[in-house]
């Protein structure tokens, strides 16, 4: 049976409560990487409710700007402002916060490389070698950030990935490509395309291999059916969804 962790970037949106209820009803745990600016826009109620249901919150920066475009000091400010928001949400929920998790916007870890788009090739490279990447990894480790995943995916044989302080992944759903503002600009243009991509990924479907999937939480009205269809597809295929902690 294929095993995977579900991670969700860019919460909250007007759909967060519904998406979390959908996952909760399917008994699927998830790690939600939240944006501080989205909390400012949409409020924290959905996230408080999510925490009470057992979902875990991670830090996805304040404004979701690529960290390669920012100074080191700006990067730290982005992390710490969102960290304060997350601490407040857990306090309001009356739930002890487990551990600190962080995911870089676009998986740009400070060097301008949006590695989400070519992550399957990252097992052949040292993605921690850039000076600002090194400095940010040092900061994250000193602040207690870590990855919660027990992952045996081949890409994690690269020690620079397995030992990273930020939360990486092994498979991007590319669900965002079906948003109206992106449609036609990227290779995948239908839910069928994305389902086939899931079906054709060898490691994602290999028995005994653990995968880390990135999905998204987007405010556009056309997005929830995409999210739910892809999750349903994995449920039908018999995926085992692993707990985050």
CB 135 within 8 A of CB 71: no
Distance from C-alpha of 41 to C-alpha of 84, rounded to nearest angstrom: 16
Full domain range(s) for residue 64? 3-241
- pLDDT tens digit string along 8-43? 999 999 999 999 999 999 999 999 999 999 999 999
Q: What is the pLDDT of residue 215?
A: 97
pLDDT surpasses 70 at 81:
yes
**What is the model's pTM?**
0.95
Residue length of the chain = 245
- Quick check: 235 pLDDT over 70? yes
50 backbone dihedrals φ, ψ, rounded to 5°: -65, -45
Three-point CA angle 29, 32, 33, nearest 5°: 155
Among 19-28, 66-75, 91-100, 128-137, name the one with the lowest average pLDDT. 128-137
CB 52 within 8 Å of CB 20 = no
Domain count, the chain: 1
Q: Could you say which DSSP state residue 65 is in?
A: -
What is the pLDDT confidence band of residue 1, given thresholds at 50, 70 and 90? confident
pLDDT confidence tier of residue 66, bands split at 50, 70 and 90: very high
pLDDT tens digit string along 89-117? 999 999 999 999 999 999 999 999 888 77
Residue 119: pLDDT over 70: no
Residue given tokens 């939480």 in the structure block? 217
The answer to whether residue 120 scores a pLDDT higher than 70 is no
User: Per-residue pLDDT averaged across 108-135, rounded?
Assistant: 78
φ/ψ (deg, to 5) at 23: -65, -45
pLDDT at 156: 81
Q: Read off the pLDDT of residues 170-226 as tens digits, 9 standing for 90 and up.
A: 999 999 999 999 988 988 999 999 999 999 999 999 999 999 999 999 999 999 999
H or E element at residue 33: strand 31-34
Measured CA distances, 4 to 21, 63, 188, 231, 239 (Å) = 19, 28, 22, 12, 7
pLDDT band at 159 (very low <50, low <70, confident <90, very high): low
pLDDT at 124 over 60: no
Range with lowest mean pLDDT among 10-24, 125-139, 164-178, 229-243? 125-139
CATH number at residue 227: 3.20.20.370
**In this predicted model, which residue has the larger pLDDT, 188 or 158?**
188
Residues whose CB is less than 8 angstroms from the CB of residue 86 and which lie 6 or more positions away in sequence, other chains included: 34, 57, 58, 59, 97
Residue 123 confidence (pLDDT): 53
* Cα gap 30→55, rounded to integer Å: 6
pLDDT digits (tens, 9 = 90+) for 47-63: 999 999 999 999 999 99
- pLDDT at residue 122, as a whole number: 55
């Amino acid at each position: 049976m294929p095993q995977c962790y579900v991670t969700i970037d860019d919460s909250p949106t007007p759909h967060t409560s519904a998406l979390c209820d959908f996952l909760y009803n399917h008994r699927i745990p998830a790690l939600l990487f939240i944006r501080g600016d989205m909390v400012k826009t949409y409020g924290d109620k959905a996230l408080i409710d999510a925490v009470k249901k057992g979902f875990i919150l991670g830090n996805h920066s304040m404004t979701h700007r690529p960290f390669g475009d920012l100074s080191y000091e700006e990067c730290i400010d982005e992390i710490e402002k969102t960290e304060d928001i997350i601490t407040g949400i857990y306090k309001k929920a009356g739930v002890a916060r487990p551990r600190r998790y962080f995911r870089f916007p676009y998986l740009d870890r400070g060097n301008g490389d949006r590695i989400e788009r070519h992550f399957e090739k990252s097992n052949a490279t040292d993605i921690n070698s850039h000076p600002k990447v090194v400095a940010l990894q040092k900061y994250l480790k000193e602040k207690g950030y870590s990855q919660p995943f027990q992952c045996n995916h081949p890409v994690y044989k690269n020690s620079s990935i397995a030992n990273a302080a930020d939360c990486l992944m092994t498979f991007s759903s590319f669900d965002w490509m079906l948003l109206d503002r992106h449609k036609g600009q990227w290779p995948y243009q239908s839910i069928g395309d994305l389902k086939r991509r899931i079906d054709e990924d060898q490691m994602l479907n290999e028995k005994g291999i653990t995968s880390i999937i990135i999905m998204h939480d987007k405010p556009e009205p056309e997005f929830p059916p995409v999210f739910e269809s892809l999750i349903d597809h994995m449920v039908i295929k018999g995926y085992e969804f692993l707990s985050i902690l």
